C-alpha cells in the first residue's frame, strides 16, 4: 500500500493542526500527538509559549489568531485534521462577551471560513454546552442534552460553548467532513506551564493557597490526560457527528480535601463553611457572587459518559492520582 493510500500513516505525515495549543487541554493534546508519532502544527498567539513543548522534529509552531482570518488560513493550509481547542475560560471575567463569548463563537465562525480542505475535525466543547443553567438537584445529563437556557448575561460560558458547537455542526452538515465533539467536565491534572494555573485549576489552588475551609460545592472533574487521549483517539475512533462526555467523578470540596490529606504528607482544608458565611464571603470576594452560590451551594449534577471511555480507549486515571498529580504540579510552579 502506498503511504498516501494509508489514512492512518498519512495522518502522521500531514500535520495535525491544534488550535489553542498553549492552553491546558491544547498543550496536553500536542504532547500526546507527538508521543504517538504525529506531525503537529501548534497554533499559538504568542510563539514564546512554544517553550511549553519538548523539542521535536515533528512539531511546527505557527503564529495565528482566531480573530485574524488570514493567519488562520495559513495555519490550516495543508492540514486534513484539525483539533480545535482554542477557547476561553475566564473565572470572574469582567467583559464576558469579549473574554468568553467571542473567542468561542466568533473564533469558530472564522475557523470554519478557512477549513474547506479539512477532512476531520475534533472540536473541544464542554459539559457546559450540555448542562442547563437551571436544573433539578441530582439530575444526570447525557450527550443528548443541550444548554438551551443560557444567554450571554446568564451563564455566558455555557452559552458560548453551546453556540460554538452549533455553528461547527451547521458548517459540517452538508460537507464531506467528519466532526466529533469532546465534552470534558472540569479539567484537573498536571500543568505544563504556570499559565495553566488559571481556569479550571483555580479550584485546586484553593486547597494550596486558600483559607482553611471549603464551600459546600460539588465539582465534576476529569483528568487532562484522559481528555488529551480522547481528542487524539477521536481522530481514528470517534463516530462522525457524535458527542463524547469525558467525565470521571463528582466530589464535594470537602471530599477533595480529604482525598488530598490521605494521599499527601500535609493536611488540606476539609471544614465546610456554613452557607450564611459563604454568602457573606461572596459579597466581598472578587471572583464570587451571591448569585453564583445560590445555584451551586449544596447542589449537584451528574453526567452519563455512556461508552465514551471504551469507544475512545481512554486510560481512565483514578481520582486520587488526578488530584495528587494536580497539586504536586501546582506546587512545582512556586
C-beta of residue 115 within 8 angstroms of C-beta of residue 82: yes
What is the spatial distance between Cα 53 and Cα 196, in angstroms, rounded to a whole number? 14
CA angle 275, 139, 134 (to 5 degrees): 65
Q: Does residue 257 belong to any structural domain of this protein?
A: no
Q: Is the dihedral of CA 44, 45, 46, 52 positive or negative?
A: negative
User: Is residue 330 a contact partner of residue 201, using CB atoms and an 8 Å limit?
Assistant: yes
- By DSSP bridging, strand 40-44 and strand 59-63 are parallel
Tell me, what's the pLDDT at 92? 60
> What's the predicted TM-score (pTM) here?
0.93
Total domains in the fold of the chain: 1
Q: Which residue has the cell 500526546?
A: 32
Whose cell is 451528574? That residue is: 302
101 DSSP assignment? I
Residue numbers in the chain where pLDDT is lower than 50: 1-6
- Cα 208-214-219 angle, rounded to 5 deg: 90
47 in a domain, yes or no?
yes
Each residue's pLDDT tens digit, 249-259: 999 999 999 99
Q: d(Cα 29, Cα 189) in Å, to the nearest integer?
A: 13
Residue 288 placed within a domain: no
Residue 167 lies in a domain: yes
Identify whether 206 is part of a domain.
Answer: no
CA–CA distance, 243 with 96 (Å, rounded to integer)? 26
Round to whole Å and give the CA distance between 334 and 314.
31
C-alpha cell at 314: 481512554
Residue at 284 is within a domain: no
Query: Is 273 inside any structural domain?
Result: no
**pLDDT for position 102:** 92
CATH number at residue 148: 3.40.50.720
Residue 53's φ and ψ, nearest 5 degrees, are -95, 150
* Cell, residue 24: 491546558
Scanning 192-299, the segments in alpha helix (DSSP H) are 202-209, 224-237, 253-263, 275-284, 290-296
Please give the residue range of the domain that contains residue 103. Answer: 3-196+220-249+302-317
Residue at 152 is within a domain? yes
Amino acid at each position: 500500500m502506498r503511504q498516501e493510500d494509508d489514512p492512518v500513516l498519512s495522518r502522521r505525515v500531514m500535520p495535525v493542526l491544534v488550535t489553542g495549543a498553549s492552553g491546558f487541554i491544547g498543550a496536553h493534546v500536542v504532547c500526546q500527538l507527538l508521543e504517538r508519532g504525529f506531525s503537529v502544527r501548534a497554533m499559538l498567539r504568542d510563539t514564546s509559549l512554544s517553550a511549553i513543548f519538548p523539542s521535536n522534529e515533528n512539531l511546527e509552531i505557527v503564529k495565528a489568531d482566531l480573530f485574524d482570518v488570514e493567519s488562520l488560513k495559513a495555519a490550516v493550509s495543508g492540514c486534513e485534521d484539525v483539533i480545535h481547542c482554542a477557547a476561553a475560560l475566564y473565572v470572574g471575567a469582567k467583559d464576558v462577551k469579549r473574554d468568553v463569548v467571542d473567542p468561542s463563537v466568533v473564533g469558530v465562525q472564522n475557523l470554519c471560513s478557512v477549513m474547506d480542505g479539512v477532512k476531520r475535525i475534533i472540536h473541544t466543547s464542554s459539559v457546559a454546552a450540555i448542562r442547563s443553567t437551571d436544573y433539578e438537584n441530582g439530575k444526570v445529563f447525557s450527550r443528548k442534552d443541550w444548554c438551551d437556557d443560557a444567554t450571554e448575561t446568564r451563564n455566558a460560558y455555557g452559552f458560548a460553548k453551546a453556540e460554538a458547537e452549533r455553528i461547527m455542526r451547521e458548517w459540517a452538515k452538508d460537507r464531506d467532513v467528519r466532526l466529533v465533539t469532546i465534552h470534558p467536565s472540569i479539567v484537573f491534572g498536571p500543568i505544563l506551564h504556570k499559565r495553566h494555573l488559571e481556569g479550571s485549576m483555580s479550584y485546586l489552588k484553593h486547597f494550596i493557597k486558600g483559607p482553611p475551609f471549603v464551600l459546600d460545592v460539588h465539582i465534576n472533574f476529569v483528568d487532562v490526560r484522559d481528555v488529551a487521549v480522547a481528542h487524539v483517539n477521536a481522530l481514528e475512533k470517534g463516530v462522525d457527528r457524535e458527542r463524547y462526555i469525558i467525565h470521571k467523578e463528582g466530589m464535594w470540596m470537602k471530599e477533595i480535601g480529604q482525598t488530598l490529606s490521605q494521599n499527601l504528607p500535609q493536611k488540606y482544608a476539609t471544614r465546610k463553611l456554613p452557607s450564611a458565611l459563604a454568602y457573606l464571603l461572596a459579597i466581598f470576594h472578587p471572583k464570587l457572587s451571591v448569585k453564583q452560590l445560590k445555584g451551586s451551594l449544596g447542589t449537584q449534577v451528574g453526567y452519563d459518559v455512556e461508552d465514551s471511555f471504551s469507544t475512545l480507549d481512554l486510560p481512565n486515571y483514578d481520582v486520587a492520582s488526578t488530584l495528587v498529580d494536580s497539586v504536586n504540579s501546582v506546587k512545582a510552579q512556586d
